[in-house]
Amino acid sequence: MSRLIKFDMNRILVSVGFPAAVLVTFLLCFTEDIYIDSFTMQAYSVFEVLFRFERTFMERDFSFSSFMVFQNALSGYSAMFLPIVASFPFVYLQSAERNSGNIRFAIFRTKGRKYYLSKFICAVVSGGLCVMLGVMLFGIFSLLAFPHVEHYPAFSVEPYVPDGVLTEVVRKLVSSFIYGCVNTVFAFFLSSFCRNRYIVLCVPFLMRFIQDTATKKIMVYEGGEEIYQRVFPFTCSAPAQIPYLDSGPMLYSTIGVMVIFMVLMLFGYIMIMTCRTDKGE
């Protein structure tokens, strides 16, 4: 199975879909709001800040520091598109395999469970990698385009980087990797019975929007810390918060919900593919 995983991962990494997903993730980060004018209450995205404000003005507000800009990556509406972006490399590969007509032979040669499990691992890892690399590129750009933390000696940065800048950067990258992995799983499940790649890419986006809207309404209308802790593991952004959560019930419940969801999607994929006589071709 390791040989099959390595073979598929090599195909994904050299395909057009993977660098395209990395590039789209990188560009989506520029749409995040990083500064709010206290007088007009207008929010400015990374694109707007680069063209509207001078360097001297940025050096007076810690919100413009390269670290804070990097931390805001995939924190807003751009994260809504991750189910499409993260799934694109795998869906691109799956579409090519179906067009080749070799799926039935590959399953027979490698045995069904090994084949399905290797596809799941490749889908999840490729989704996580493309998102993480896109965020990493954005971090490099932020470091070059925005003032460093050292430009704010009079500002206390300790609350923002309690464990050091490097630790926070690693956490952000791990967070984006987990986020990409989870956002690929539902598209992977849909690919077991749906041949239309546009539906496979877009339906998870729609489901994420519904999930995000529902959980936010529950939190707003019900309120209270207890309700928040119960609903939080089911929110769309919960997997991305795992590296930032302290050891406790919220962390364990978030990991539990994420693992159960991924296992159910894998089990459903295997069951559907096993029952299909055409094996997905």
Q: Is the pLDDT of residue 163 over 80?
A: no
Q: Is the pLDDT of residue 157 over 70?
A: no
Q: Express as a percent the part of the chain with pLDDT over 70.
A: 87
pLDDT of residue 276: 65
pLDDT of residue 222: 66
Q: What angle do CA 170, 175, 177 make, to 5 degrees?
A: 95
The identity of residue 134, as a single letter, is G
- Residue that is written with structure tokens 């364990």 in the block: 252
Write down the domain spans for the chain: 2-275
pLDDT of residue 252: 93
Average pLDDT on 197-220 reads 87
pLDDT of residue 112: 67
pLDDT of residue 41: 80
Q: Predicted confidence band at 281 (pLDDT cuts at 50, 70, 90)? A: low
Q: Is the pLDDT of residue 9 over 80?
A: yes
Average pLDDT on 107-132 reads 84
Q: What is the per-residue pLDDT across 33-61, written as a single tens digit (0 to 9) for each?
A: 888 877 878 888 888 888 888 888 888 88
- Its pTM stands at 0.88
Average pLDDT on 106-129 reads 82
Looking at the chain, list the stretches that DSSP marks H as alpha helix, in order from N- to C-terminal side.
2-13, 17-28, 46-52, 55-58, 66-71, 82-100, 103-110, 112-145, 165-190, 197-222, 225-231, 249-275
